[in-house]
Each structure stands twice: as structure tokens, then as C-alpha cells.
Amino acid sequence: MPDEYEKALTHVAYEYAALESAYNLAQTATKTPPLIAAFDSFLVHYRSLVEFFAKEKHRKDDVRAKDYIAGWTTPPLPEWAKWKDQMHILLAHLSTKRNERIGFDHRNDFKPMLAEIQAAWEEFAKGLNGTPYDGKLEPLLKHRRENFSRIR
């Protein structure tokens, strides 16, 4: 299976680059449709990365940080603990709870959420040192960032 995990690193890099791109668009969007798309995209990629760093596998083909780093310990994710219920309401299904103000303010709340994932990402990247995946993540991330920068 290591070959499959190496191939999956491109998807891991995509999630991180997409999170950064969604954050930047959410902070700079001047019209409602791009803001809505960026808002939802940020939450989806944030949740995907939290699951990558923290969650147990639900399916045998799930990819998690612990697949790459023996003894992986999830860094603290206090923003996730704070917002996971609201994210579930917004992303998982239509709900009458959407009628209530859920509380996300992209101008204030996304920055600490991004910082939390950036810190976990740094730990993950450092943890790859000395593994078979050493040196493979950064080129993939660079490529993904370049692809997202062309969209603007």
C-alpha cells in the first residue's frame, strides 16, 4: 500500500492549497456569489484536513496523517472543537437549524481556523522527514498553489 499513499499525497497537497485559496478569496471577494463559494469551500477543505490530521479511518481507502507518520499525534485543534457543530449544520444536510444565526464570520473566524491547520500542516511536513515520503510533499504543494494562482 505505500505506493497508494504516495500517490494520495497529491490529494493531501490539493486540500491544503484549496484551503489557502478559499481563505484568500473569502477575504477579498467583493461580490456575493464568489464569497459564498469561497466560504463553503473553505469550510469543506478545513473539515477534510481536520479529518486527515485527526480522525480514525471510516473506510479502508481513507487517507490519514498517521498513514504517513508512525506515531502521529494530532496537534490541538481548538477551533475545530469550537465550530464542528455549526459546520455540520452548514455542510452535512439541510436543517431547520440553519434558520438560526450560526455564527461564522469569515473576516474574523477563518483566520484562527487557517492558523490551526497551518500549524498541523507544519507538524505533518516535519514528520515526513526521514520517511519514504521525505521531500515529496513540497513539490506537490507548490504545483497545487501554482494551479490555484492561475484561477484569479
The conformation of residue 70, written as its DSSP 8-state character, comes to T
Position 93 pLDDT exceeds 80: no
Note if the pTM is more than 0.85. Answer: yes
The pLDDT tens digits of the residues spanning 102-123 come to 777 889 999 999 999 999 999 9
Q: Are 9 and 65 in contact (CB under 8 A)?
A: no
Position 128 pLDDT exceeds 90: yes
Residue 95 is predicted with a pLDDT of 80
Tell me which residue has cell 479511518. 57
43: number of Cβ within 10 Å: 22
